[in-house]
Amino acid sequence: MAKTIIVSNRLPVKISKTDNEYMLSTSEGGLATGLGSIYKQGDNKWIGWPGIEIDEKEDQDNVSAQLAKLSLEPVFLNQEEINQYYEGFSNDVLWPVFHYYVSTYSVYKQSNWDYYQAVNKKFAEAVLKIAEPGDVIWIHDYQLLLLPALIRKELPDVSIGFFQHIPFPSNELFRLIPWRKELLEGMLGADLIGFHTFDDVRHFLGAVTRVLPVNASANVLTVDERLVVAESFPMGIDNEKYASLPLQKGVLEQKALIKETFKNSKLILSIDRLDYSKGILQRLQAFEQLLQQHPEYCEKVTLYMIVVPSRDSVPQYAHLREEIDKRVGNINALYRKMDWTPIHYYYRSFPIEMLSALYSSADVCLVTPLRDGMNLVSKEYVASRVNDDGVLILSEMAGASKELIDAVIVNPNNSGEVCNAIIEAINMPLDEQKRRMKQMRQLVSKFNITHWVKVFMDKLKEVKQMQRSMQTR
Ligand code: G6P
């Protein structure tokens, strides 16, 4: 029987090592939830890296056995592969360029590229070990851009979907990468290539038709007489989970505590993974501007800022962390009062119950990435507002801004605009808050993660049928 194989760089589990034991905990991530209905069924599998270096054969066997029980199949990476494929090429070349963060001094190291190719081949071997011609293979994200073509070469008729979770840049940026041609050829091994927004699709089609001798008719490409479709599929969240959590007893208790702690001020929430694309420093600048230029808001607003540790072995990330520490320290030192601290800053991850308590307590959620494929925090905030109140301030550079048009939309680089948006948000009349939030809640609830998975899978089937009917003509 045909099966579905999900492939992503990271498996949807966290593995930690205590003494000599490897402990597994399943991920709460949106993708893991959304694809749970697929990979846990029958012979279906999810293939990916377990997230830590495990070198000993005995340990690998032990972890593989634990993962197998969860329908997960590991691809183990050694330290050099982690350094060069994951940190080097994926996160020091592709991530910055795809997020429009290009420096004149960017270094494109041949060895990073060599490892990127080698690790993509390693993933291909893992897939080909279990894949058969009738299977459906769904590959995720920029770490595996070469994988679709590597699989296509061995299994010419298999169904391959590819979804990119980060933006696809304008060709003027994309073409800077020395291996742009190979990257696009890799992606075109897929039958269906998905992005979050129409702009990403447009950029991708622009790059393909300029870099390769491939023709496009609207969003349909012809690659070696095979049809390939590129389309936007804005990702959703597990709306039911976020809408029901705020009603749970434990969450209600935490919420009461938060309300009591911040009873004298408006609470502004900010939650991100540590990343320069998230605009955390720019956000701090706008918040400082508020305190400096509008002192009447001192003691009346508090910024609750969570930064979730991420990729801190990549130098830019370690540096960013230091900068955030400094900036928060400065603002708190300058404006703090005996019974008011302007920024409550946490550099750690929080359990989902606490996040829900924060989402459902915060008067404002400030989401101002400089560039973001989608941004699910904005949707999680909306889904958590079960009373329809609260204000979302959202960057126009986040994919989510194309859907959440009732948010207060800002340019994250314009600190004056963000500062004014905060003032607008904390003074927004309740009926306007409700009018906007209701619209956004309807959208987030309807276009949820289950819907996203279904629409992508249905389209993949449709593309396969289109290809078959072309062949029989
Ligand atoms: C983004 C990417 C994912 C990635 C995640 C966490 O959402 O689109 O592919 O898994 O960040 O980053 P990490 O490097 O820790 O996997």
H/E element holding 7? Answer: strand 4-10
**Distance from the first to the final alpha carbon of the chain:** 28
The residues, ordered by sequence, that sit 6+ positions from 246 with a Cβ below 8 Å of its Cβ are 252, 255, 356, 357, 359, 360, 384, 386
Dist. CA 203–CA 405, nearest whole Å? 22
For tokens 């809640």, the residue is 441
H/E element holding 4? Answer: strand 4-10
Contact yes or no for 370/412 (Cβ under 8 A): yes
Can you tell me the mean pLDDT for 226-249? 97
Choose the catalytic residue: 141, 238, 372, 406: 372
Structure tokens, 121: 């081949």
Going by pLDDT thresholds of 50, 70 and 90, the confidence category of residue 312 is confident
Provide the pLDDT for residue 105: 75
ipTM value, please give it: 0.98
Provide the pLDDT for residue 104: 74
Can you tell me the mean pLDDT for 79-105? 93
Given ligand 1 and candidates 310, 313, 379, 380, which is best to mutate, with the most ligand atoms within 8 Å of its CB?
Answer: 310
- Of all atoms in ligand 1, which is nearest to the CA of residue 140? 9
Choose the catalytic residue: 92, 135, 140, 165: 165
Share of the chain above pLDDT 70, in %: 100
CA distances from 470 to 122, 135, 204, 393, 463 (A): 33, 20, 24, 47, 11
- Residue 95 burial (CB count, 10 A): 21
C-alpha 95 – ligand 1 centre gap (Å): 10
What are residue 303's DSSP bridge partners?
268, 343
Provide the pLDDT for residue 443: 98
Contact yes or no for 105/78 (Cβ under 8 A): no
Provide the pLDDT for residue 129: 97
Kindly report the protein residue whose alpha carbon is nearest to atom 8 of ligand 1: 165
Which residues line ligand 1 at a C-beta cut-off of 6 Å? 10, 141, 165-166, 310-311
Reply yes or no on whether the pLDDT at 28 is more than 90. no
Kindly report the protein residue whose alpha carbon is nearest to atom 4 of ligand 1: 10
261-295 as b/e: b if 16+ CB within 10 A: ebeebbbbbbbbbbbbbbbbebbbbbbbbbbeeee
Going by pLDDT thresholds of 50, 70 and 90, the confidence category of residue 12 is very high
Reply yes or no on whether the pLDDT at 107 is more than 90. no
Share of the chain above pLDDT 90, in %: 91
Reply yes or no on whether the pLDDT at 389 is more than 80. yes
Reply yes or no on whether the pLDDT at 349 is more than 80. yes
For tokens 């870099």, the residue is 211
3-state secondary structure of 409: strand
Provide the pLDDT for residue 37: 81
C-alpha 51 – ligand 1 centre gap (Å): 11
- How do residues 247-301 score in pLDDT, each as one tens digit? 999 999 999 999 999 999 999 999 999 999 999 999 999 999 999 999 999 999 9
Kindly report the protein residue whose alpha carbon is nearest to atom 10 of ligand 1: 10
Reply yes or no on whether the pLDDT at 471 is more than 90. no
Provide the pLDDT for residue 159: 98
Reply yes or no on whether the pLDDT at 419 is more than 90. yes
Task: Share the mean pLDDT of the chain.
Answer: 96
Reply yes or no on whether the pLDDT at 30 is more than 80. no
Can you tell me the mean pLDDT for 142-149? 98
- Of all atoms in ligand 1, which is nearest to the CA of residue 143? 9
Provide the pLDDT for residue 170: 97
Give yes or no: 372 in active site.
yes
C-alpha 273 – ligand 1 centre gap (Å): 9
Provide the pLDDT for residue 179: 98
Give yes or no: 388 in active site.
no
Provide the pLDDT for residue 464: 97
C-alpha 340 – ligand 1 centre gap (Å): 35
C-alpha 25 – ligand 1 centre gap (Å): 17
